[in-house]
Amino acid sequence: MALGSLLVLHTHAIQAQDEKETGRLVIPPPSGIQEEVLVTGGRAALSTLAGSAAIVDEELIIKFETTDLNALLSQVPGVYIRQEDGFGLRPNIGLRGTSSERSSKITIMEDGILIGPAPYSAPAAYYVPNVGRMQAVEVIKGPSAIQHGPHSVGGAINFVSRDIPDAPTGEASLVLGSFGSQKARLFYGSDWRQGGYWLDAFVYGSEGFKEADYEGETGFDRQDFNGKFAWRSSESAAVYQEWVLKIGYAEEDANETYLGLSDADFYASPLRRYRASALDRFQSEHEQIQLLHSADFRNDWKVITRLYHHRYHRSWNKFDGIIDGPEVRTVLANPDIFYDEMALLRGERDSNILSSQRIDITNNDRHFLVSGIDSRIQTLWQSGDAEHHLELGLRVHRDEVERDHRQRGYLMQSGSLVFDGDETRPNKALNDGLTDAIAIYLRDEIHYGKWVFNLGFRHENIEADYRDLLIADEGAQRTQSSQNIFLPGAGASYKLNPHVTLLAGVYKGFSAKAVSAAEEVKPEESLNYEYGFRFSKDVSQLELIGFFSDYTNLIGRCRASDPCAGEEFNGGEIEVKGLEATASYYWQAKGGWRFPVNLVYTYSQAEFGSSFESSFDPWGDYVERGDELPYLPEHQWYLEAGLEKGPWSFYTALRSVSEMREVAGSGPYEDGAWLPELTTVDVSLEYAFSDALNFRAVVENASNEQEIVSRRPYGARPNQARTVKVGVHYHF
């Protein structure tokens, strides 16, 4: 059981007493999250689940006014985050040793439905929903993840939107903070005799914490509008049915860049931003429509069907190097050698019109389209002393991607970027891809005495069609590929006594190759094991789980900004092993004092099992057997402690990530090829004026620690600077 769910369970257990005796504002649990959108089965199922999973509840999302998914997922063991922009706008997430690059090796869902822009055709699109509007976030690992694809090597993440309330419910909140940050939400929902609805408007943004060398903001604005509408048959109907329609629209406008700093400039001024990035701007729109139908035949048979259609468009006008000049990575890594180029990036000298000193600003314009139907049949039947919870699922899915990357040249003139007037430069990319996928799975959860067994398989059939329109020969433009995979898995848990449960599992994982991958590239596969135990007694909780993964055909996916732009490579075999630990204790002392303490720890070790030449930047030019994987810290810690009394609550959270490599290797770390340890502290103070109104003050990165969190793709970039937020929340 995850730390988040542990604390929430303790909190809910004493809510009634808290509200009666202290008047402290406590967010009530929902009327019941629809089980159809909870892929774990809910909190009650976690204690007997034959596999590892975690739920981070809404209470934990708002405790620190969290909008950064990176920060939120640090509360779950076995999750690896590589920061990129400091706000968590485009998180790089890995699970149990999978590559965190653009979250391309995990399955991301919203309400149980694939939500990535094109999870098959372009898995490296790294879009995630806004976590600030969610009711919960589920993380599924081990055999529990086998029914979710197409990326099951590490696991899956499911974002759970709010359930429709069973009574009129509203919320209005406003949070303001440092660097012009702001967050506002207006929510209202109600029910009627045979249905209900809610409407939700959620916006947030910031002027940016980076200090630009030019006039302009370095922040972002996001807007997210959603609605959910439900109809239910009467309770007396022979077949009880529910229809739920969800629609959503989200957009983002961010002054975001891939350009970082040289190490020397970073340590002199870590928040600096060069003039060469002044025109960088990311804009996106996301539309979703989902229709869920549930039919309960009242004889232990249930059919749940989801239809979905999503559209995503993003346009990123961004710095992409120096036209016909040296690689920017090389320039930033050797500023003393490339003095003229560094002066150009900083805007300290003008471009020489007669030489190759034009700044490359490329507009990466991409359109994505996703549609599909997902249906599952659930039944419950008895066989002797064994109770079987059987589920058969089928998904028919199609996704598409269109890329149009257009380059323009700019001259640095008096510290400003001036278009050079050349409209004839060819596209860097002009292609499209289409994938049709049919997935089927069967899962049998068997309850037999003190045992719970989870047996099942998943089968994927994937047909892809890709066209590179920059190739003149129409016959050579088109590439077609097919992938078929059978993925079995099994897990078991045993209740040793009322407080201790043992668990173990094994399953085959899979990560589909992208539609643009060359024919010789093979999909990523793995054999994954986990083993451990859970302990729960009163207000004490402990979980220890060891894991081991044996990969074949590890896939490396190049960004558009990499020298190997858009290509995929196989990296042979790797082995990943580690330990996940969560513990919590809720101490209630005399005088109404309460002290919740929670700890999460992850130990990881991963090595390549073969030697090979590489064109993938994070692996370096040559990988030797025994080299450690990049972006995989050996140790990760999350420690949270709280102090509660009456209407007051105070919490502090410490996050620590050990040093890690940026390039595969072994032995001592090399300059510019590793990231230092980063430890940050957040604090939160809350006061409840009443059951409906509360005030909260939060300080993120209270000690203002600044370290390099990434050098990909272009130079050193920092974590978020110290940020103070104050907000009010009113529930009606």
- Kindly write down the DSSP assignment for every residue of 589-615, as one continuous string: -GGG-EEEEEEEEEEEEEEESS-EE--
Q: What angle do CA 256, 258, 259 make, to 5 degrees?
A: 105
Mean pLDDT of 256-272: 97
Mean pLDDT of 638-646: 97
DSSP 679: E
Residue 319 contacts residue 280 (beta carbons within 8 Å): yes
CA torsion, ordered 330, 335, 337, 340, to nearest 10 deg: 100
The set of residues, in sequence order, having a beta carbon less than 8 Å from that of 270 and lying 6+ positions away, is 261, 706, 708, 716, 718
Whole-angstrom CA distances from 640 to 33, 55, 597 are 26, 17, 6
Could you give the CA distance from residue 232 to residue 294 in angstroms, rounded to a whole number?
9
Closest CA to 566 of 514, 525, 618: 514
pLDDT tens figures, 286-306: 999 999 999 999 889 999 999
Handedness of CA 605, 610, 616, 622 (dihedral sign): positive
What integer pLDDT is reported at residue 44 of this predicted model? 64
Whole-angstrom CA distances from 465 to 149, 334, 403, 440, 665 are 20, 42, 14, 21, 36
Within a 10 A sphere around the Cβ of 279, how many other Cβ atoms?
21
What integer pLDDT is reported at residue 43 of this predicted model? 67
Closest CA to 524 of 460, 578, 480: 460
What integer pLDDT is reported at residue 560 of this predicted model? 67
Q: What angle do CA 139, 140, 143 make, to 5 degrees?
A: 170
Mean pLDDT of 618-627: 91
Could you give the CA distance from residue 90 to residue 84 in angstroms, rounded to a whole number?
7
DSSP 330: H
What integer pLDDT is reported at residue 567 of this predicted model? 78
DSSP 628: B
259 pLDDT more than 70: yes
What integer pLDDT is reported at residue 243 of this predicted model? 97
What is the band of 228 on the pLDDT scale with cuts at 50, 70, 90? very high
- Domain CATH code at residue 213: 2.40.170.20
Cα atoms in the 13 Å half-sphere on the side-chain side of 577: 3
What integer pLDDT is reported at residue 50 of this predicted model? 66
List, in sequence order, every residue forming a beta bridge with 214; answer none if it has no partner.
none
DSSP 296: E
Residue 156 contacts residue 39 (beta carbons within 8 Å): yes
Mean pLDDT of 475-500: 94
Number of domains in the chain: 1
Within a 10 A sphere around the Cβ of 699, how many other Cβ atoms?
21
Burial of 336 (0-12, 13-18, 19+ CB in 10 A): exposed
Residue 40 contacts residue 48 (beta carbons within 8 Å): no
Closest CA to 149 of 439, 371, 484: 439
- Kindly write down the DSSP assignment for every residue of 392-434, as one continuous string: EEEEEEEEEEEEEEEEEEEEEETTEEEE-----PPPSEEEEEE
Could you give the CA distance from residue 649 to residue 322 in angstroms, rounded to a whole number?
52
What integer pLDDT is reported at residue 41 of this predicted model? 66
Mean pLDDT of 200-209: 98
Could you give the CA distance from residue 510 to residue 576 in angstroms, rounded to a whole number?
15
What is the band of 684 on the pLDDT scale with cuts at 50, 70, 90? very high
The set of residues, in sequence order, having a beta carbon less than 8 Å from that of 18 and lying 6+ positions away, is 24, 26
DSSP 617: G
25 pLDDT more than 80: no
What integer pLDDT is reported at residue 620 of this predicted model? 86
Report the Cα 38 to chain-centroid distance in Å.
17
Is residue 344 classed as helix, strand or coil in its secondary structure?
Answer: helix
Residue indicated by tokens 């063991």: 77
26 pLDDT more than 50: no
| Structure-token pair, residue 43 | 């909190």
The mean predicted confidence, pLDDT, of the chain is: 91
Closest CA to 185 of 203, 198, 197: 203
What integer pLDDT is reported at residue 659 of this predicted model? 97
| Structure-token pair, residue 403 | 């890329």
557 pLDDT more than 90: no
The set of residues, in sequence order, having a beta carbon less than 8 Å from that of 241 and lying 6+ positions away, is 232, 233, 293, 294, 295, 296
Q: Are strands 272-273 and 211-212 parallel, antiparallel or unpaired?
A: parallel
- This prediction has a pTM of 0.93
Q: Are strands 693-700 and 723-731 parallel, antiparallel or unpaired?
A: antiparallel
Residue 547 contacts residue 504 (beta carbons within 8 Å): no
Domain with 617, as residue range(s), is: 3-731
- If you count DSSP H runs as helices and E runs as strands, how many of each does the chain have, helices first? 9, 40
Mean pLDDT of 180-200: 96
- Kindly write down the DSSP assignment for every residue of 632-673, as one continuous string: --SEEEEEEEEEEETTEEEEEEEEEE--EESS-B-SSPPTTS
